[in-house]
Structure formats: structure tokens, C-alpha cells
Amino acid sequence: MELFANLAHGFAVAFSPINLLMCLIGALVGTLVGVLPGIGTIATVAMLLPITFGLPPVGALIMLAGIYYGAQYGGSTTSILVNIPGEATSVVTALDGHQMAKQGRAGPALAIAAIGSFFAGCVATVLIAVLGAPLTKLALAFGPAEYFSLMVLGLIFAVVLAKGSVLKAIAMIVFGLLLSMVGSDIETGASRMAFNIPELADGLGFATVAMGVFGFAEIIRNLDHGAEMDRNLVQQKITGLMPTRKDLVDSTPAILRGTVLGSILGILPGGGAVIASFAAYTLEKKLAKDPSRFGRGAIEGVASPESANNAAAQTSFIPLLTLGIPPNAVMALMVGAMTIHGIVPGPQVMQKQPDLVWGMIASMWIGNLMLIIINLPLVGIWVRLLRVPYRLMFPSIVVFCAIGIYSVNNAPVDVVLAGAFGLVGYWLIKHDFEPAPLLLGMVLGPLMEENLRRALLISRGDWSVFLSRPLSAVLLAIAAGLLVLAVLPALRAKRDEVFVESEG
């Protein structure tokens, strides 16, 4: 009963005109930020933080939260339309989403991403309200050993999501891991492979590499001779804007599974949310009757990761609201916003600031509703954008990406690096290496290395901790199982290939 009283209180707070307005502004800015390539949520929330100085704290936080989950809605747009993932969480959306767009099905892809996100957002909001406090235990149960095992599992996901050669996918993951090692070492502070370039001291930014190997490389490749036909074809055959009945039937279980996975992984501070979308995609591909459809425009490959990343975005508020500990960089900024207003979040924030906590929870549901109302009509506009001739589209994307990358750190070197990675990405495409595993390796690399080292420091070099801690052991067992599943078909396929060759 207390829950309903709290929720009623929350809705009363969230429905005040000023908070509704803040929620709407947050949702709009979030969508915009998500759509613009390069501009990340961290940068935007950081930039908008000072504006919240003059606002009442509840409204300010409602707005910032709106930007955060709003960006999850918008982030899928560029992934689908132009194959540029703006955030780590929308890398996998690009795999099938962009293929759908190439097949003239950008509308259904965008719509299902919005619908999936909305459903996931609603479920996760209820989850925060009902189970927030007990779920906190999960966040505390994950120590360095568990994180390391989770990251190993995440890397196995990367192998599974490859559609070509498993060997080359693993090579790309390791390449990504190596790239992630650039920068200063967490334990000793030593500069690693940074060649005394100050901009490399903190490593390569995700946005920089992602813009390069996905965005710029895709553009350069599209400018190749012979690629024009491909593009014109896309523009001519745009079909319906909304998903068909079959699309909805196909996506429903995917959305449900994505929501569950995303909700659980989102609670884990520091990296849980990142692998949510990868995990969801892998799960769908493994469960599918015909996994070969994935990577070639399967709608489940859009529905599931998009649901997962939005669910994770919502549940990542749990550690903040129940423990007062920010689980990721955006949440750390939210803590900053609270401190600016004189609220220091802690374990008692739920009791001490009921307006803030319950108002925010209620606003998340309202925000998700607003986002789906904003995003569904936008689908038509986005799809129409695809009709813009490519000769005008590509310089625009180049400029948007360049500004976006520059804005992350105000560093021109980052822009040059992204350009260099564009050429690397072009080369990778020419040699049939996939960029998605590379990006995942890059995101998970530091988390894996740091947690491995932390776990070994705490256990004084005893490697058995990864097996003696039950949660960690379970995660490693799943990883081993998945690896076997991933390698087996590859071996089988090789036998088939050999067979075909000898025939021909």
C-alpha cells in the first residue's frame, strides 16, 4: 500500500506543469542528442548542467533524466538510417536496422525501436518502483571477479554477433581490446602506447572510433564506383512506414526478452548497461530458428537490443536512487546536479527526498509516453530524409560527425583520429573484417582488464577466485557454453564448404 501512496505522490509531483514541461524538454533534447551523431549523452548532460542551476531541483533532475533515456530512443535513428551508432548501446541496432533501411524498411525498423523502447521503459519504471530496494543487493553482489566474468561473457557475445568468419571476428575483438589499452594504466598511471600525444593520454574515445569505423568508413565506401546503384535502389523502394502485423508478431517475444535482460544488466554499475544490448541481440540470434537472417535485416535484431538498452537506461537509476552511488558517468553528473542543489544523494535519499525520488520515477513513465508520441510521427520525417540525394547527404553527415566528435572534448585531434579510423574502417570493409566486434572489444576491454587486475589484487594473485565465487563461476560457464555453440556451426559450415568446393 505504501508503494501506491508513494507512486501517487510521485505522479502528483511529476504532473505539476513545470515538471511536465521539464520532462518534455528533456525528452526532446534527448531525442535530438541521440539523433545527432557524435554528441553523446555525457557531453550534453554536462553542458546542460549549469542551466539547471536556476531550476528547482526536482524539475532539473527530471529534465536530465529525460535527456538520458530520450537519447536511447534517438540513438537508434542514426544507426538505422545511416549506419552510425552514436552510443555504445546502439552499435548492434545498426547491424540489422541499417540492413532493413537498405531494404526499404527503415520505417518499420524505426517504429519497432520506439515501440520496444516504450514497452521496456514502462516495465523498467515499474521495476524501479516495486523492486528497486531489493535489486540493490545485486549491484553490491558484483565484485571485481564477477565483473571480469561478465565481461568475458560479453566478449563471447561479440563473437556470436559476427555474421562472417568467427576467426576474423575474434581477431577484431582482440584488435579492439588492444585499442582500448591506449592511454594511462589504471594501476600505475603509466602511459601506454600513447606516444606522448596528450589527447591520447586518456585513451581513444568510443565516439571517435565508432564514428570512424562505422560512419566515415561507410561514407567512403558508398562513394566507391558501383555503389551508386545500391543507394538509388534504397531510395526507390521505401515501403510502409509502420510495422506489419507479422513484424509485430515476430518482435513481441524479442521485446519481452530484451526488456528482461536489459532490466537485470542495467542494475549493475559500471558496464552492465553496455552489454545489455549485445546480450539481447545474441540471445535472439541463438534462439532464432534461422540465425542466418541476423545481420541481413531481421526485425528482432532491432527490437530486442533497443528494448534492452532502454530498460537498462532506466534500471541504471536504481543504484543511484537506493545507494546514492552513481553507476555510470551520466549518473555521476546527476549526482553533480543534485549536489549543486544541495542534495547529496545517499542510501537515505528515498526517505529524505521522496519528492525527488518518486517524482523522478513517475516522470520516467510520463517521459516514455512523451517519447513514443514524439518518435512515432518522426519516423515519417526520418524516412523522407533517406530520399535526400546521397550527393547532398554525405557531406552533411561528414560535417555533423566532425562537429559531434569535436564537441565531446573540444579536441581537434579527436576529429583527425576519427578520420584516420574512417580509413582503417574502409580497409577493414575491403578485407571483410566486421567493425562491430572491434567496437565491443574496445568498450569491454578496459572493464575486463581493470576488473581482472582488481580481482587479482584483492585475492593476492589467486586465479581460483573466478571459479570459487558462485556468480562468477556461473557467468564463466555460460560463456564457455556460448563459445562452444558459436564455434560448432563454424566448424560444421567449414565442412559443408569443403564439400561444395569439391563438388564444383
Partner 1 sequence: MSDTPSEAPVKSILPEWVRGPQDFIGGLAMVAVALFALWASSDLQGMHGFSFGAGTAPRMFAVLLLLLGAAVALMGVLKDGPNIAAYSWRGPLFVSAAIVFFAVGIRPFGLVVSAFAAFLIAALGSHETKWIEAIIVGACLTLGCALLFPYVLGLPMPMFPRFLIQ
Partner 2 sequence: MMSIRSLAGACLSAFAALGAFAVPASAQNYPTRTITMIVPFAAGGPTDVISRIVTAHMAQTLGQSIVIENVVGAGGTTATTRAARAANDGYTLITGHMGTHAASVPLYPKLAYHPEKDFEPVALLAGTPILILARKDFPPKDLKEFIAYVKANAEKVNAAHAGIGSVSHASCELLNSILDVKPVGVPFNGTGPAMNALVAGQVDYMCDQIVNAVPQINAGTIKAYAVATPERNPSLPNVPTTAEAGLPAFQAQAWNAVFAPKGTSPAIIATLNAAAIKALDDENVRKRLLELGSVIPQPANRTPEALATLVKNEIAKWTPVLKPAS
Stretches 111-119, 159-167, 347-355, 492-500: which one binds partner 2 (CB under 8 A)?
347-355
Question: Is residue 337 a contact point for partner 2 (CB under 8 A)?
Answer: yes
Applying CB under 8 A, the span of 89-97, 224-232, 339-347, 418-426 interacting with partner 2 comes to 339-347
Cα(474)–Cα(467) distance, rounded to whole angstroms? 8
Residue 4 contacts partner 1 per CB under 8 A: no
Residues 305-324 that bind partner 2 (CB under 8 A): 319, 323-324
Q: Is 19 or 407 the residue whose CB approaches partner 2 more closely?
A: 407
The 3-state secondary structure of 458-478, one letter per residue: HCCCCCCHHHHCHHHHHHHHH
Nearer to partner 1, 177 or 299 (CB): 177
Contact between 377 and partner 1 per CB under 8 A:
no
Angstrom CA distances, 305 to 78, 89, 285, stand at: 15, 8, 11
Alpha carbons 259 and 312: distance in angstroms, whole number: 8
Q: Which of 134, 164, 346, 412 binds partner 2 (CB under 8 A)?
A: 346
Burial 181-219 (b: 16+ CB within 10 A, else e): bbbeeeeeeebeebeeeebbeebbbbbbbbbbbbbbbbb
Residue of the chain from 418, 442, 447, 479 that contacts partner 1 (CB under 8 A): 418
Among 278, 433, 437, 479, binds partner 1 (CB under 8 A): 433
Please state the closest distance from residue 385 (CB atom) to partner 2, in A: 32
Would you state the cell numbers that stand for residue 85, as one nine-digit string?
A: 551508432
- Residue 143 binding partner 2, by CB under 8 A: yes
Instruction: Kindly state the cell numbers that stand for 130.
Output: 516495486
Q: In angstroms, what is the minimal distance from the CB of 472 to partner 2? A: 13
Residue 334 CB, nearest approach to partner 2 (Å): 8
Give the footprint of partner 1 on residues 62-101 (CB under 8 A).
83, 95
Based on the shown chain and the rule CB under 8 A, indicate whether residue 340 belongs to the binding site for partner 2.
yes
Residue 398 within binding range of partner 1, rule CB under 8 A: yes
Residues numbered 151-210 forming contacts with partner 2, rule: CB under 8 A: 184-189, 196, 198-199, 201-202
Residue 485 contacts by C-beta under 8 Å, 6 or more apart in sequence? Answer: 160, 286
Mask: binding to partner 1, 150-189, rule CB under 8 A, as x and -? -------------xxx-xx-xx--xx-xx--x---x-xx-
Q: How many other β-carbons are positioned within 10 Å of the β-carbon of residue 17?
A: 7
Q: Which of 134, 389, 470, 481 binds partner 1 (CB under 8 A)?
A: 389
**For residues 375 and 115, what is the distance between their CA atoms, to the nearest angstrom?**
9
- In angstroms, what is the minimal distance from the CB of 346 to partner 1? 30
Closest by CA position to 439, among listed 147, 172, 130 = 172
Backbone φ/ψ region at 469: left (φ over 0), alpha (ψ -120 to 50), beta: beta
User: In this chain, which of 412, 470, 481, 489 binds partner 1, going by CB under 8 A?
Assistant: 412
Contact between 390 and partner 1 by CB under 8 A: the answer reads yes
- Spatial contact of 411 and 198, defined as CB atoms under 8 Å apart: no
CA distance 209 to 166: 22
Which residue in the set 62, 275, 333, 483 belongs to the binding site for partner 2 (CB under 8 A)? 333
